Structure 1
């Protein structure tokens, strides 16, 4: 287990992808899945750096900004010019050195299904963090980024590990089953993950060693809580 006595540095990785397939609709990262963990960690004194595959602006899924999806933390984000500036000026993944950080966290949204799932730099980054015994955390659609990640033995990282992620039932509920390139639940199972889930739209997260996964937007704060406890353990 990682032992921290000084400032904790966590890398947040967001999507650069803004198009929902060929539907003409916009996507990106889900605000709640970024804002809730961001403030939970930042308020605890964690230093956070934000990166994306392309660098620059990380696109926000407009649906995540609708009134029914607003939380206390998303409202805080909407008034936080400093954090919004970070979102608009993210670092390119290619310029990130995993040795500078104690853990990596991937917020979701549908965007990662298109870019982070296939991004070789992202996959290598996750592999490096995990090989260095550093926590890797994902929520909702973000476990898509594990699609091509292998362990030191060349096996899929999720093989034989307890995992969760956005359920097929939840994808069907938002009517995007036939739009997304693949279903997170199916991919995790096909790669040998020991998949489990909680109730639809309710908070549920799973930890297996240094791998942390959360099921849906409501699980974001829980993933951050588990991650923080891991990093503060002495």
Structure 2
């Protein structure tokens, strides 16, 4: 029998960016990175909201729709889920950080353009963290952490163990030259203690209240690590 978590709430951050700049290639959130984390929260009675840098419509990376499992189809077929979270995601100014125990940055290539520049969402994450909550991110979503600061203005991830989408994985995608920068390189440059596993294998790094995952295969594992933290604290 599952342990019910009382009064917990999660905020999932998703992109508004629908296109690789300078190309005719569509992008957006990698759907399973949102749904697999969301479903772990749902199974443990943790309420979930979605926020994006500008609010409103959230594009789905079409590539993610070619790799759908039963869980993804269930969420994709839920019109209430789509309307509330993908058609009408919250704007940052509609979010009260004090209401959330964890923030989770979902990935997809779109985030490479809007996450690092969203100081409003970074401020939400900073407040959640300073209130004792968790900051979590998966795959390309880790680039949202680049904007998150400590109270003294230093980079939150400087000196902290984490992971994220690897240069090797980007090369396997044949998209190295299509993104504005490489997530692995940016994390290292920011001073993070970056580690990685084999390409497209699950890899979750837990550093107290900072939890990161390497790729889409790691989204569920991040959710389980969050629940584990909640159950122990």
TM-score under structure 2 length normalisation: 0.94
**Could you tell me how far apart the structure 2 residues matched to 1:145 and 1:51 are?**
13
CA distance in 1, matches of 2:201, 2:34: 17
Find 1:72's aligned residue among 66, 70, 73: 70
Paired position in structure 2 for 1:96: 95
Higher relative contact order (CA 8 A, sep 6+): 1
Q: Distance in 2 between matches of 1:221 and 1:177?
A: 26
Residue 149 of structure 2 is aligned to residue 146 of structure 1: no
Q: What is the match of residue 51 of structure 1?
A: 51
- Show CA shifts across 1:111-131 (max 9, x none): 111001111101111211121
How many corresponding residue pairs? 229
Q: Write out aligned runs for 1:1-234 (5 A).
A: 6-66=6-66, 69-86=67-84, 87-234=86-233
Maintained 8 Å contact 2:54/2:92: yes
Query: How large is the RMSD of aligned CA atoms in angstroms?
Result: 1.3
Residue-by-residue CA offset, 1:63-84 (whole Å, 9 max, x unaligned): 1101xx1222212112222211
Shift of 1:62: 0.7
Q: Distance in 2 between matches of 1:159 and 1:54?
A: 27
Three-state SS of the structure 2 residue aligned to 1:147 is: helix
Answer whether contact 1:105 1:137 (CA < 8 A) is retained.
Answer: yes
In structure 2, the gaps of 5 or more residues are none
Contact 1:162 1:206 in 2 (8 A): yes
Secondary structure, counterpart of 2:152 in structure 1: coil
Provide the rounded CA distance (Å) in 1 between the counterparts of 2:48 and 2:57: 16
What SS is found at the alignment partner of 1:91?
coil
